[in-house]
Structure 1
Amino acid sequence: MQPINQTFLCSRKFHISSKPNLEVSYLIFIQQRLVSRFRTCHNRTQNPDSVSDDNHEFIRLPVPITDEHSAMNVKALEIQDLLKRTNGHNTIIEIEQALTRLKLILSEDLVLNVLRRHRSDWKSAYVFFNWVSNSSGYSLGTRSYNEVLDILGRMKRFVEVCQLLDEMSKRDKSLINERTYGIVVNRYAAAHKIEEATGFFYKRAVFGLDLDLVAFQTLLLSLCRYKHVEAAEFLFHSKMNEFHHNIKTMNIILNGWCVLGSLREAKRFWNDIITSRFKPDRFTYGIFINSLTKAGKISTAVKLFQAMWAKGCTPDVAICNCIIDGLCFKKRIPEALEIFKEMNDKDCCPDVVTYNSLIKHLCKIQRMEKVNELLKEMTQKGGDCAPNARTYGHLLNSAKKPDEVVKILERMERDGCKMMADTFNLILRLFMGWGDDKRVESTWVEMERNGLGPDQRSYTIMVHGFYDKGRLEEAMVYYNKMVSKGMVAEPRTKLLVDAIKIKLKDTDHKSDQKI
């Protein structure tokens, strides 16, 4: 191990940066994030049956355990490393035997910690879950089942989802709760399986759950979220007599048309609400205003916004945010700032979303003095106004060179703001675009260790990034890894891969001709 003030991990296959000071700064920053989460030992006992990873050398960070949470993270990291080394190389039986040799003291928090590190790797998550399920002396709880159901559903593994639901029902029906129902319905809707989602709603009785309005609204919400609004509205009308609908149910359908981007249908349903026995509430106004702003009808949206004040239906912060973002998008930033000022005057306190809307658009036009002023204000106010990952995402998007990214991440760290999967992917895209292989690798490693990827977007960034740089073989390596994990490539990525295969074939053919 090499001490650079503190220890860090290195990769053998990437080139050393030509800017050593900046490189060390970024490496130390990433390492400090690892230190805050994990502790490992210099003399870690190696598992003789595990498969080593020849591509990377991980240097363990000697940080003392200070509490139970840190100890759990260490164990979870050890399991994660084992699953990573054995995945694709060993049989399920061999992996289970290796897990058994760890002699773990299982708890639901540990199981959840491991599962959440494999949200984008359903195979490893499912192997670990089944091993835990078959372990003597430990009984899985509802939260663990729900977590793995969500992972499987995200990857469209519905055969396994049904098997797990049967297992839960046979073992104890009380394991299936409202959270379970919401996860399964949402994943069916996301996979465009409308009949299955609707069918699962009617299976609630089998699982001992009531067929009530709240559950029906959950079904409609999931269908609308994934743009099956027509089906949701059909169900709404067909079940009019079965459930005592309220304005919330109508708001769900209205919001569905808004999400779909159909202003014509949104207007039609808005008129249905106005002529119905239900009185529009603040959420109804907010949804329709959002629909108008998304359709570019910001002037009409502002008029409706002003009418709310006149009618005594005070807009909430979400509606104000919608208007501010719409005005900023239309480059009417002075008007947006005026509404921002009025919010404080009218006791409608702005939140982090308000600030983020302004910062996003101010970054685009490089009004960085105003951005820093707003950031300072957010930090001082704290609470609902404290900067979040999205705030720093806007700042990162405006970065022009690697050292700016490092400074933004250091500020993010100081403010105690947690990195999200989107943040990692954004950083990955930036460093990939700049051709900074060292930092790409460092970001990838930390993303894995935080359980925030790599996901389908991460692999897509790598495939397209390597293609743009003419590194076709490396692009195919990441594409094949993505497919092997059960991830479905975007249509544009599939087209790109087809082009890569043709180019590689042509290159091989030319090489054969020379020989």
Structure 2
Amino acid sequence: MAITFVSSRAKTTKDILQSLLKKAHSFRPFSSFCDKDPPSPDLVNELSRILSDYRSPHHDIQSVLHPFSSKMSTNLVEQVLKRCKNLSFSAHRFFLWARELPGFQHSKDSHHILVDILGSSKQFPLTWDFLVEMRDTRKFEISSEIFWIVFRAYSRANLPAEAIRAFNKMLDFGITPTVNDLDQLIYLLCKKKHVRHAQEFFDKVKDDFTPTAKSYSILIRGWGEIGELGNASKLFDELLGRGSEIDLLAYNSILESLCKGGKVDEAYKLFSELRSKGFVPDAFSYSIFIHAFVEVNDMHSAFRVLDRMKRYNLVPNVYTYNCIIKKLCKNNNVEEAYLLLDEMVERGVMPDVWSYNAILAFHCDHNEVNRALKLISRMDDYGCQLDRHTYNMVLKMLIRVGRLDRVQKVWESMDQRGFYPPVSTYAVMVHGLCKKKHNLQEACKYFEMMVDEGLPPYTETCNLLRNKLIGLGIAEQTEILADKMEKSTSCSIQELSSIMRGTKVPRKVDDKMRCRGEYSDESDDWRRTDVSN
């Protein structure tokens, strides 16, 4: 299908739709209040270890934290809370302890971090208790932004009705909801595909809030994301019928819905009419078609749209570039992917970790050790921080090809980069080394490191290591590991020691630990991409 794209000289508004996400994250803890002196990484690490070790309700965490009283600062508290985002009970107790220190006052970010931690770990009763306490004591002014965190937590937990109930509770906390709060709610619901709940609530309250074109755009895009083109079109027609001022964002939303519904020709017809309606397509308008072509593996058309954008000085965002790079690597066109990486830098779009990881996955799948390590060096040169996916892919490949010397160097580099390996990364090491001859002791070493760090291993990891040790006739090592696990201050690790001993297995231990917030959302990542081969 041949499509000719028209010229565009208007200023780019490609990221308008993402403004909601930026607003929703503006309250988040990821831009800390800075003290004059940033906290020592060693101090953050030491406090985080305490929170991990003293996670049980019967632990006297206050006494252990007391020697650090004089070192507390708002920045330090924020960094520790960020580091311990999966230790909801410990983080909460740490927050309360710090609050009682003479002269200490938590920052706004610290309050937001804690609500995010409690909500993310589904500790909703504790979350509401905390909010009620803030309201009643008036030690901290509750804003709409805190409720946006709650909306997001309920949406992620697949509890859309509770997210809506939280919206209705805003008045109880002295906050009169605005159309902006309504937009945040329906945006977060739609993001997690709870579009029907969002639409039903929107229909119920829209006469009270006078929704804007942005409100409709969120829902139109939401319907398009779940393949309900009919509902998206119906809503767009309703927007037109209301006589409201329509912006380019609304048209981009229906264009995207049409393309996702397989109506690319119809989308292009509407695209061609934008100028006559007084709108000039922006970078996002064009990127919609790039994504549509990439989806059906029509890379020729995707690059034709990209070339047209260059001609009119429109620059795709990193998400659009990543979409193309990922497909190129999947098609074994990794050299073209590198050219696109260079183009991004030239055009002022800095590649992110997903840009590099897409190419890195290709090198790791093909056991291209040198190219993979060279790409990691490039990430360092451009200041792109490696994430768990980066490390897990590389470590798995290096173990698979027997380059244990490189494994050690990569592992040691984590500390230099300020990366703290999660459970999934330890699982990659233990599972990978268990599969290699003569490396079982190395697997035990990393297992012990994980226990020392207070990270509860997966039940699969415990079972695999135990079976390997018994199979090689060194069952006594399982007793040594079990003894070490029983001495851990982590209740979860203590429970897992019974698996290592081969006694009665605790039922659904992993599920219990997830409920406690001891595994993050990355828990299953190692199964999908890291130790499957």
1:251 aligns with 2:220: no
CA contact (8 A) 1:173 1:208 kept: no
1:266 to 232, 238, 251: 232
Shift of 1:391: 0.9
The letter for the 2-side match of 1:473 is N
1:114 aligns with 2:64: no
2:190 to 202, 224, 229: 224
CA displacement 1:362-403 (0-9 Å, x = unmatched)? 222222332222222322333xx1111121121112122244
The letter for the 1-side match of 2:380 is E
2:323 corresponding residue in structure 1: 357
1:19 corresponding residue in structure 2: none
Shift of 1:256: 1.9
1:484 to 474, 491, 513: 513
The 1:407/1:182 distance shift into structure 2, 3 A limit, reads same
Alignment partners' CA distance in 1, 2:260 and 2:399 = 32
CA displacement 1:203-224 (0-9 Å, x = unmatched)? 2223222222111222222222
Residue aligned with 2:207, SS: coil
The 1:290/1:112 distance shift into structure 2, 3 A limit, reads same
1:387 corresponding residue in structure 2: 351
1:473 aligns with 2:463: yes
2:109 corresponding residue in structure 1: 143
2:440 corresponding residue in structure 1: none
Q: Percent identity?
A: 26
Shift of 1:135: 2.8
The letter for the 2-side match of 1:281 is D
Moved more, 271-280 or 184-193: 271-280
2:47 corresponding residue in structure 1: 79
CA contact (8 A) 1:360 1:394 kept: yes
CA contact (8 A) 2:88 2:121 kept: yes
In the TM superposition, what are the counterparts of 1:93-492 in structure 2 within 5 Å?
A: 93=60, 95-172=61-138, 174-309=140-275, 311-382=277-348, 385-399=349-363, 400-401=366-367, 402-420=369-387, 423-424=390-391, 427=394, 439=407, 446=414, 450=418, 454=422, 473-474=463-464, 480=509, 483-485=512-514, 486-487=516-517
The 1:178/1:268 distance shift into structure 2, 3 A limit, reads same
CA displacement 1:49-80 (0-9 Å, x = unmatched)? xxxxxxxxxxxxxxxxxx96554333212212
Alignment partners' CA distance in 2, 1:91 and 1:436 = 45
CA contact (8 A) 1:460 1:489 kept: no
The 1:391/1:80 distance shift into structure 2, 3 A limit, reads same
CA contact (8 A) 2:38 2:75 kept: no
CA displacement 1:322-376 (0-9 Å, x = unmatched)? 2112212222212211111111222323333343232222222222332222222
The letter for the 2-side match of 1:172 is R
The 1:290/1:407 distance shift into structure 2, 3 A limit, reads same
Shift of 1:144: 0.8
The letter for the 2-side match of 1:101 is P
CA displacement 1:284-341 (0-9 Å, x = unmatched)? 2222222233334444434433343564522222232221122122222122111111
Shift of 1:453: 6.8
Residue aligned with 2:209, SS: coil
Residue aligned with 2:104, SS: coil
The 1:72/1:460 distance shift into structure 2, 3 A limit, reads closer
Shift of 1:245: 1.8
The letter for the 2-side match of 1:235 is F
The 1:225/1:368 distance shift into structure 2, 3 A limit, reads closer
Alignment partners' CA distance in 1, 2:351 and 2:430 = 32
Residue aligned with 2:385, SS: coil
CA contact (8 A) 2:85 2:117 kept: yes
Moved more, 105-114 or 346-355: 346-355
The 1:426/1:366 distance shift into structure 2, 3 A limit, reads same
Moved more, 304-313 or 207-216: 304-313
CA contact (8 A) 2:353 2:384 kept: yes
Report the TM-score, using the length of structure 2 for normalisation. Answer: 0.69
CA contact (8 A) 1:448 1:454 kept: no
Alignment partners' CA distance in 1, 2:388 and 2:350 = 19
CA contact (8 A) 1:459 1:482 kept: no
Alignment partners' CA distance in 1, 2:227 and 2:402 = 37
The letter for the 2-side match of 1:387 is P
Shift of 1:416: 0.8
CA displacement 1:394-431 (0-9 Å, x = unmatched)? 11121222443322211100111123455456556666
Alignment partners' CA distance in 2, 1:480 and 1:449 = 32
CA contact (8 A) 1:116 1:451 kept: no
The 1:72/1:464 distance shift into structure 2, 3 A limit, reads closer
Alignment partners' CA distance in 1, 2:371 and 2:345 = 20
Alignment partners' CA distance in 2, 1:440 and 1:197 = 46
CA contact (8 A) 2:62 2:97 kept: yes
Alignment partners' CA distance in 2, 1:441 and 1:168 = 47
CA contact (8 A) 1:229 1:257 kept: yes
The letter for the 2-side match of 1:419 is L
